[in-house]
Amino acid sequence: MSTLPKIGFIGLGIMGSPMSENLLKAGYDVTGYTLEQDKIDRLVKAGGKGAASIAEAVKDADVVITMVPASPQVEAIAYGPDGILENARSGALLVDMSSITPQTSVDLAKAAKDKGIRVLDAPVSGGEAGAIEAVLSIMVGGEQADFDSAKPILEALGKTIVLCGPHGSGQTVKAANQLIVAVNIQACAEAVVFLEKSGVDLKAALDVLNGGLAGSTVLTRKKDNFLNRDFAPGFRIDLHHKDMGIVTDAARNVGAALPVGAVVAQLVASLRAQGDGGLDHSALLRAVERLSGQQV
């Protein structure tokens, strides 16, 4: 009989499915719920249990993990008679790993406290590959004791796991992460177009650039996307558009100027408006190509 905490996992998408499977590999009892039955079936095939509702997934859980797209979805699964707060047991720990506004996380923690439920906001960076390989960077907001109890679980999902401060701090750091990633991808995309138009061997150029100060995790992860024009979604433009809205709003609230970030936020928004919202964020390359007179 396993003495590990029972986990209820809500949201089995691009990130949630491999994350839940890594918890199973680590020996945890995982019961999952999501809107698509085929993804529940995938979890069951991997050794987990499927639930027909949020209430069923969380009722016996010691820890509830959520991984959904944005603040409205977090609020939808957390609140109301069918939500997590009404159906999880008192004393349970809710670890929200979605990327949402810091204020949504603060509000959730307050509401959960009234129900005797502890909360951590624990958004991640690393994309689909990081989720599959269990090497995510996890930035956490909440109480130290709750972080300490959750850390063994988080260690099954990631490699860099840091308590960043009180509730909402994890989301604030994630917003900064998304700012850095978007600007980095945009710079890489501009370099790719510049190199190709100059007649340079692109693969050779990216290899040598990635070995120097211009190298980055972004370039390592996205190099093949650029080379092959493969924009199958690891992290969709739609979601990065949402995240750029979070960081620009949060920065305005604290009086921080983001001149380059604001421009890149508009470039992400324009790519989405052109119908590319479902593509990987490396598809920012497509926007630079259009601006440079290339048909894509």
The answer to whether the CB of 117 falls within 8 A of the CB of 66 is no
What CA–CA distances, in Å, run from 158 to 17, 43, 162? Answer: 14, 19, 11
What tokens appear for 50 in the block? 């499927």
Tell me if residue 6 is catalytic.
Answer: no
The answer to whether the CB of 98 falls within 8 A of the CB of 123 is yes
3-class DSSP state for residue 31? strand
Specify which residues 160 forms β-bridges with: 137
List the catalytic residue out of 174, 222, 223, 242.
174
Residue 275 to residue 162: CA distance in whole angstroms = 36
What tokens appear for 190 in the block? 């501009």
What tokens appear for 259 in the block? 């001149």
Residue 40 to residue 48: CA distance in whole angstroms = 9
Active site residues: 174
